[in-house]
Amino acid sequence: MQLPVTLRLKPSPTLAIALVLAHGLAAVGLVPASLPPVLKISCWLVLACSLAFALWRHVFRLPAHALTLKPDGHMEIERHGNEAAEARINPRTTVFPWLVVLLLQIGKERVALTLPRDAVDAVGHRQLRLWLRWKATSD
């Protein structure tokens, strides 16, 4: 793999479906509950707001447009407005073949990126997983 590599991020339909299913299951779980109707409706409204926020935050308004993987083990993140910032990788970042939960420290701000395979092109997702396992530093 030739470094540096820039990976362009895009909205993930897989993540959107997972969020809708999880919130839908929670909503259906309220149906048999012995709660007053006003409380059930309130809970459904809270779930709807939670779903809207989750979709906005994790699918439609990603905190980054691109990630640049550097040969020295550091990462640069391109944010909205084409602002680039150096990011430190949290050691609790999780890497699975189908999903990367990338925990970053950018200055004093913590950013979490949930990246299923369709959030980055297939080759880019594989490069990210390999880079995180072999090159990434958290210093």
- Quick: pLDDT tens for 45-59: 999 999 999 999 888
Task: For residues 19-37, give the mean pLDDT.
Answer: 95
Strand-pair category, 84-89 with 94-95 = unpaired
Are the beta carbons of 122 and 19 closer than 8 angstroms?
Answer: no
Between 82 and 67, the higher pLDDT residue: 67
Q: Work out the pLDDT band at 25, boundaries 50, 70, 90.
A: very high
Residue 137 has pLDDT above 70, yes or no: no
Computed from CA positions of residues 110, 116, 117, 118, in that sequence, does the dihedral angle turn out positive or negative?
Answer: negative
Dihedral in degrees, nearest 10, Cα atoms 34, 37, 41, 46: -40
Task: Please spell the DSSP secondary structure of 37-60, one letter per residue.
Answer: HHHHHHHHHHHHHHHHHHHIIIII
Task: Output the pLDDT for position 19.
Answer: 95
Are the beta carbons of 120 and 8 closer than 8 angstroms?
Answer: yes
